[in-house]
A and B are shown apart, each in its own frame.
Chain A
Amino acid sequence: MSDISVDPKMVEKILQNQKYKDLVTKRSKFAWTLSIIMLIIYYAFVLIVAFAPNLLGTKISPQSVISVGVPLGVFIIIAAFILTGIYVRRANGEFDTLTQQIKEEMK
C-alpha cells in the first residue's frame, strides 16, 4: 500500500480542468527550459575543463594576467542565481495565481 490516498473524483475533475492543463504545460515547459539552460552552461564548462583546459587560461587582454576562466567562472555563479530569480518570479506570480484559480474552481 502507498501512504496517501486522494479522492479519485476530485483528481478526475482537476485533470479535466483547462486551467490545470495550462498550468502543467506552462510550468513544466518553463522548468525544463531553464534546467536545460543551466545544464548546457555547466556541462559546456565541464567539457572545456575536460578537453581544452588551456582555453580557460587565455588572457582576457594582452596586458592582463587575468584568464578568461575567472570571469567565466563568476559568470556561471551569477547565471545560476539569475536563473533561479527568473523562475521564482514567474512561478510565484503567474503560476501561483493559476493554481489559486484552480483551487477556487474546485470548491
Chain B
Amino acid sequence: MTYLNKILTGAGVLLWSSGAWGAEAAKPGEALNMTAIAMFFAFVAVTLGITYWAAARTKTTKDFYAAGGGITGLQNGLAIAGDYMSAASFLGISAMVFAKGYDGLIYSIGFLVGWPIILFLMAEQLRNLGRYTFADIVSFRLSRVPIRTLSALGTLCTVILYLIAQMVGAGQLIRTLFGLPYSYAVIIVGTLMILYVAFGGMIATTWVQIIKAVLLLTGATFIAIGALNHVHFDMEAFFRSALEGVKASNLADHKKVVAENKDIFAPGGLVTDPISAISLGLALMFGTAGLPHILMRFFTVANAKEARKSVFYATGFIGYFYILTFIIGFGAVVLVAPNPQYIDAIKGTLLGGNNMAAIHMAHATGGNLFLGFISAVAFATILAVVSGLTLAGASAVSHDIYANAIRGGKVDERVEMRLSKFSALAIGIVAIFLGIQFEKQNVAFMVGLAFAIAASANFPILILSIYWKNLTTRGAMIGGFLGLVSTVVMVVLSKTVWVDVLGNKAALFPYKDPAIFSMSLAFVGCWLFSKLDNSAQAQEERARFAAQSVRCETGIGASGGVQH
C-alpha cells in the first residue's frame, strides 16, 4: 500500500478515480486527501467570514489600502511574518536542509538579516512619510508623474514575478497534497485571493496573514518538537543521527553528498564563488527592503512607535520560524529518509519530491490528522502571500498610476477604490492565466529575480530619497531604470534562464545572482545623474529635503499620525 493510499484509508476517504477529472487527471498516487481538504475548507470558511466582516468596514481608501491605520504593532508583526514566510520558505528551506544540510541555513540567515536594517533605516521613515505605497515616500519631494510611474513599474514587475512563482508552486503543491488537478488548484487560489483583496482590502488581507502566521508557527513548532523528542532533546544525538541518516539514505541527493564527501554541517554546493555569495547576500538582504507588499504593511499601523514594534515582533517570529525549518529539515533526514513509505524508490527522491520533506515530517511526527493540518496550513500560507502581493499590485495601479500620475492626486476616493478592486481582479486573472501557462516551466528563478529587482530598482531610489538630499528626479529615474533593466538582462543571460529555461548551451552572464552589479549600477546611476542635474527643478527638489526630514524625524503632518 502506498503512503498516500494509507492516508486515504486512514482518513476514511473515497478515492477519486483519475478519470473523474477528465483530461486534467491527477497522476496516480496523487489522490484526494479529505482530512486536509476538510481543514482547508474550515480555513476558507473562516477567512471568507472575515472578508465579509472586513468588507463592511472598508469604506475609504485608507481602509482599503491601510486597514484604516488601526493595526497594532503585534498584529502587524504577525501579519508581516505571515506575508513573508511563504510556502517556498517553509517547504523549500526545510527541503534544502534535508537535501544539502547547512546551505539551507545560509538562505534563512540572508532572508532574516534584512529586517533589522529595515527597522533601523526605514520603518518609521516609511510610516511618517507615506500613506499607502512606497512611491508616496519617493514622490514626497521628487516629481510625481515620472517617479510614480517608475515605482509602479518596479512594484508590478516584483509582484507579477513573485505571483507566478507562488501560483506555479501552489498548483504543484496542491496537486500533490490534495490530489486536485493543477489548473483547479491555481484557479481556486486565484479566486480566493481576488475575493479577499477586492472585497476585504487590507483588513481582510491582514487577518488572513495573521491567522496563517499563527497556524504555520504552531504547526512548525509541533513538527520540530516531534523531531527533537525522538532524540529526547539531546542536540548532539540529534545531529549525530542526522549524519548517520544521510550515510544510510538511499535518496539520490544524499548519495551525492556522501559520494562527494561533503560535510552537511558546512556550506556545500550552494555558493560556488565569492562573487555569487556576496551577490546572493545583497539580493536577499536588500530585496526584502524593496518588496512592495512588505513595505505596504508599514502604513497599516497608527504611528512610528507601532511601526517599530511590528518589525521587532516580525523579526522574532521569522527568526524563530527559520530555526524551526532547520530542525525540521534535519529531522526529516532522521525520521523520513529511512522510511520506505515516504520514498519514491524509482526517482530516488521523497514521494512528491524533496520539497515534501516538511509535509512527510508532519505525518512522521503526528500521523494522518496532523498531516492534514499541515497540508491545509501550506495552502493557507500560499493564500496569505498571494493576497498581499495582489493588494500591492492593485494599489500600484490605482494609487500610483491612476490617482497620482494620471489624475494628479485629485480624484474621487470611491472611483479610486473601485479601480483598485478591478485591478485586483485583473491581476488575479493574469496570475491564474500565467500560473497555468507556466505549469511545465522552471520558475525557480522568478523569486530570485523578484528579489533582485526589489533590491536594484525599488530599494535604491527609496533609501536615497529618504537619506540623500541631492537625489533628483532625473537621477532617480535613470538609476532606477538602470537597476531594473540590468537586473532583467543579467538574469535572462545567466544560467538559470539562458540555459535552464531557454535551453541554450552556455550562459552569457557567468553569475547566478546579478545583485552586486545591478545594485551598484542603480546607486551609481542615481548618484551621478543627480550630481549632474542642476536644473531649476533639481534645486527645488533639494530645497524640499528640509521639510521632508522634519516630517520624517518627528511624524508631524504624517498621515494618521498621532494627533495631540
Contacts and interface: CB of A to CB of B under 8 A. Distances in A.
Max chain A C-beta neighbours (<10 A), residue from B120, B143, B550: B120
Interface string B539-560: 0010010111111011111000
How extensive is the interface on chain A, given as a class? 35 or more
B116 A80 contact: yes
A91 B556 contact: no
A6 B266 contact: no
B277 A49 contact: yes
A57 B121 CA distance: 34
Contact of A91 (B124, B277, B315, B557): B124
Contacts of B304: 91, 96
A40 B158 CA distance: 28
Nearest to B322: A77
A85 B105 CA distance: 22
B323 interface: yes
Interface in B169-226: none
Contacts, number: 185
Contacts of A38: 113, 116-117, 120
Contacts of A47: 274, 277-278
Nearest to B564: A103
B117 A35 contact: yes
A67 B265 contact: yes
Interface in B230-257: 235-236, 239-240, 243
Contacts of A96: 304-305
A15 B553 CA distance: 11
Contacts of A3: 136, 139-140, 144, 404, 409
B433 to A, nearest CB: 34
Interface stretch (B13-21, B44-52, B306-314, B506-514): B306-314
B120 A35 contact: yes
B348 interface: no
Given A11-B546, A51-B274, A88-B119, A2 B140 contact: yes
Interface residues of B, number: 67
Nearest to A85: B312
Contacts of A64: 236
A65 B116 contact: no
Contact of B265 (A10, A31, A49, A66): A66
Max chain B C-beta neighbours (<10 A), residue from A14, A43, A50, A87: A50
Contacts of B227: none
Interface string B314-345: 01100100110010000000000000000000
A15 B115 contact: no
A92 B308 contact: yes
Contacts of B115: 80, 84
A38 to B, nearest CB: 5
B141 A49 contact: no
A85 to B, nearest CB: 6
B308 A88 contact: yes
A46 B243 CA distance: 24
Nearest to B541: A2
Contact of B556 (A24, A35, A106): A106
A102 B553 CA distance: 11
Max chain B C-beta neighbours (<10 A), residue from A15, A34, A47, A53: A53
Contacts of B546: 11, 15
Interface string A12-26: 001100001001100
B42 interface: no
Contacts of B312: 81, 84-85, 87-88
Interface in A26-58: 27, 31-32, 34-35, 38-39, 41-43, 45-47, 49-51, 53-54, 56-57
A91 B267 contact: no
Nearest to B145: A1
Contacts of A67: 102, 263, 265-266
A92 B550 contact: no
Contact of B116 (A2, A70, A83, A99): A83
Interface of A: 1-6, 8, 10-11, 14-15, 20, 23-24, 27, 31-32, 34-35, 38-39, 41-43, 45-47, 49-51, 53-54, 56-57, 64-67, 69-70, 73-74, 76-78, 80-81, 83-85, 87-88, 91-92, 96, 99-100, 102-104, 106
6 contacts: A6-B547, A35-B120, A42-B285, A46-B278, A54-B263, A65-B240
Interface of B: 102, 105-106, 108-110, 112-113, 115-117, 119-121, 124, 136, 139-144, 235-236, 239-240, 243, 263, 265-267, 271, 273-274, 277-278, 281, 285, 304-305, 308-309, 311-312, 315-316, 319, 322-323, 326, 404, 408-409, 541, 544, 546-551, 553-557, 564
- The list of the 5 closest CB pairs from A to B, nearest first, reads A57-B266, A50-B277, A67-B265, A50-B274, A53-B267
Given A34-B116, A53-B267, 17 more contacts: A2-B141, A2-B541, A6-B551, A24-B549, A27-B553, A32-B121, A35-B117, A42-B110, A50-B277, A51-B274, A56-B267, A57-B267, A66-B239, A76-B109, A78-B319, A81-B316, A84-B311
